[in-house]
Amino acid sequence: MIHPSAVIHPRAELGPDCEIGPFCSIGEHVRLGPRCRLHSHVVLDGHTTLGADNEIFPFACLGLKTQDLKWKGGITRVEIGDRNVFREYATVHSATLDGDTTRVGSDNHFLAYTHIAHDVQIGNHVVMSNVGTLAGHVVVEDHVIVGGLAAVHQFCRLGRYAMIGGCSKVVQDVAPFMMADGNPAETRFVNKVGLERAGFVAETIATLTKAYKILFREGLTTANALTRIEAELPPSPELAHLLAFAKSSQRGLAKP
């Protein structure tokens, strides 16, 4: 299952049934879980760990040194879960400071030329379309979709089930369950179709729509809007997550 042209460091760890294609390069501190498939010309380096059943397409590079000029050496890591797909020329960079980690969860799909910078934290079931870019320290929660050619500023957060429109420039946090688009990106509406497809019931979507109108359409400060939402809307796990996300925002929400 290992092509003779692949270059694999003797101390790299490969799980059972991995398939390593032509001209791949695997560094000393790389660990691959079972059944990972590297098509060809893939580079894995640094202190990088992948779980099971990951598929990596030609010219993807995972685990290489951060591009952050603050890097001063030390051991930094990349940790990737299970069943992820990295398409052609996708890049995942290691963290910047000694002991820190760039993390990617499981069941994610990263299309061609996507970039995951240093110290990014990504959850599960995320889709990044072609040339989507995450700057350093970005947090992406579960079930987020990032449109093609979209770019996310460092330290921003994308809440779960958020959808980012193609070519968007995200410079503030995008709240959970919302759609954002534009340059700079603004929250446009609840991600209604995405929530329906994910099985959210109509009552939950209606409550989130009311919260959206209070938070983004009535001209209130975020603090006052959150107070109104807590007082006027019926509690639910989704609403609680939206409120907690907004309260903890450091960069502010991407408001119109």
Which residues have a catalytic role annotated? 118-119, 136
Q: Go through 185-223 and write b for each residue having 16 or more CB atoms within 10 A of its CB, e for each that does not.
A: bbbbebbbebbeeeebeeebbebbebbbebbbeeeeeee
| Distance set, CA 39 to CA 2, 25, 54, 256 (Å) | 11, 11, 11, 43
Give the phi and the psi of residue 181 in degrees, each rounded to 5.
-160, 150
> Token pair for residue 1?
């299952």
Max Cα–Cα distance, the chain, nearest Å: 66
